[in-house]
Amino acid sequence: MNNKVGRNQILGVRATNDFITKFDALCERLGYNRSEVIRYCLKRFHNEHFNNPENFRRARSEMF
């Protein structure tokens, strides 16, 4: 795995129109763009779950 900092990467996911509508409304309400909100959410999720076995198990069980 390459851990160079400063390289721009594009991460894409498929999403329904309903999800995009709700996500865009959330971004607008927060006052940040999609990329900033996604980075915040993923970083927060990682910090709260990755090294905590109980939280990690809970997240795995909640995945759909």
Task: Tell which wins on pLDDT, 2 or 23.
Answer: 23
In a domain, 50, yes or no: yes
In a domain, 63, yes or no: yes
Which pLDDT score is estimated for 64? 74
10: left (phi over 0), alpha (psi -120 to 50) or beta: beta
Quote the number of domains for the chain: 1
Nearest Cα to 23, choosing from 12, 38, 43?
38
30 within 8 A of 37, measured Cβ to Cβ: yes
Residue 2 has pLDDT above 60, yes or no: no
Host domain of residue 56: 33-64
49 within 8 A of 56, measured Cβ to Cβ: yes
Residue 8 has pLDDT above 90, yes or no: no
Residues in Cβ contact with 39 at an 8 Å cutoff, skipping those fewer than 6 apart: none
